[in-house]
Amino acid sequence: MALSSRRRILGDRTGPRLAIGERLPWHTNIVRRIVLAIFAVFWVVPVIWLVLAPSKTDNELLDRAPLAWGSWEQLGETWTDLYSFNDGAILDWALRSLVYALTALVIAVGTSILAGYGLATRDFAGKRAILALTLVTMILPVSATVLPLFLGMNFVGLLNTPISVILPMGFFPFGTYLAYIYYRRSLPPSLLEAASIDGASHWQAFRKVGLPLSKPLLGLLAFLNFTVNWNRFFLPFVMLNSADTINLPVGLNALVQSTSALRPTFLGSTPIKRPEVALASLILAIPVAIVFILAQKYVITGSLTGATKD
């Protein structure tokens, strides 16, 4: 069928397109820049405030301009007060969060890659049911799964242990479905057929063909899983109930509750004020920013690869 005939039947839904190198109209370009500037201000201003807040005292934080810089001396004093909270508990929380997040990341990425590859390259009974269950699990709210997990961990005696947090964090249905889509769209069947003709087993085909092609996917899954697990609050809050096991978000919650903004003055003085909480929030955000900077190439290519199929 001729191209013109197909357009008459289906309708030309593409509309006008810009040629490569052609610029947008000036008014469209201005509107786009204004919209981007609004979103940039909406995101950048709170981040700048958060960076500058630890350099000011609690009173200066309320009285001075929001984006004003305090002093390096006050920044050092803010860190001293934060570190003195429960004898340096902030570093213990951060270390536990790192251990929990990285251990769960290894489990989640490993199982997601293997499961997604198997679902994409093999046909077996129950495949559709597994994909449907994966999608259902993805849309379930966290609050709906915490109670069954709590009862299960309590039944096997793992409550208030790192395993009670790491195992649920390692369950990553979104990563499995993303790996399935990636391999389904980006892995040519001819490569697997050539590997099979050469006598390679399914495991060898995955190790020699599937795994080398999945570097962008690995970077994307690692970033997504680490970000979610590093910021995880509700699950550790329910599973962990001692100062020796809590992670950084749960500890930060305790830190906020110790501030003068929430703790009445008649209960006694506390070194934790709003600047210390701002500094603790920066400590929570820095690892995610570092991971994104290191993995941004894989995050971008992994999210785009497989988006279209010829």
Tens-place pLDDT, residues 236-256:
999 998 888 999 999 888 888
DSSP for 23-36, please give it: PPPHHHHHHHHHHH
Contact 117, 183 (CB under 8 A): yes
Q: The pTM is what?
A: 0.79
Q: Indicate the domain borders of the chain.
A: 89-304
Please report the sign of the dihedral spanned by the C-alpha atoms of residue 38, residue 44, residue 50, residue 51: negative
How would you write the pLDDT of the chain (310 residues) with one tens digit per residue?
Answer: 444 444 444 444 444 554 444 566 767 778 888 888 888 888 888 888 889 999 998 888 888 888 888 889 999 998 998 888 888 888 999 999 999 999 999 999 999 999 999 898 888 888 899 999 988 888 888 788 888 999 999 999 999 999 999 999 999 999 999 999 988 888 888 887 787 787 878 888 888 888 888 888 888 898 899 999 999 999 999 999 888 899 999 988 888 877 765 554 443 455 678 888 889 889 888 888 888 888 777 666 655 554 444 4
Question: What is the structure's pLDDT at 111?
Answer: 93
DSSP for 137-174, please give it: HHHS-HHHHHHHHHHHHHHTT-TTSTHHHHHHHH--HH
Q: Name the nearest CA neighbour of 239 among 147, 164, 163, 157.
A: 164
Question: What is the structure's pLDDT at 236?
Answer: 92
Q: Which tokens belong to 229?
A: 């697990």
Q: Name the nearest CA neighbour of 67 among 90, 44, 89, 84.
A: 44
Question: What is the structure's pLDDT at 273?
Answer: 83
Question: What is the structure's pLDDT at 103?
Answer: 95
Question: What is the structure's pLDDT at 270?
Answer: 59
HSE-up (13 A, CA, CB side) for residue 78 = 27
CA–CA separation, 114 and 217 (whole Å):
12
Please, which contacts does 190-199 make with residues 24 or more away whose CB atoms are closer than 8 Å?
192/121
Task: Give Cα separations from 227 to 90, 147, 217, 284 (angstroms).
Answer: 19, 23, 15, 11
CA–CA separation, 92 and 90 (whole Å):
5
| Number of C-beta neighbours around residue 195 at 10 A | 18
Task: Give Cα separations from 113 to 176, 192, 227, 277, 294 (angstroms).
Answer: 7, 16, 18, 38, 21
CA–CA separation, 64 and 61 (whole Å):
6
Task: Give Cα separations from 237 to 124, 164, 242, 293 (angstroms).
Answer: 40, 11, 10, 29
- Top-tier CATH class for 89-304: mainly alpha
Q: Which tokens belong to 82?
A: 């934060």
| Number of C-beta neighbours around residue 284 at 10 A | 19
Contact 256, 277 (CB under 8 A): yes
Question: What is the structure's pLDDT at 261?
Answer: 59
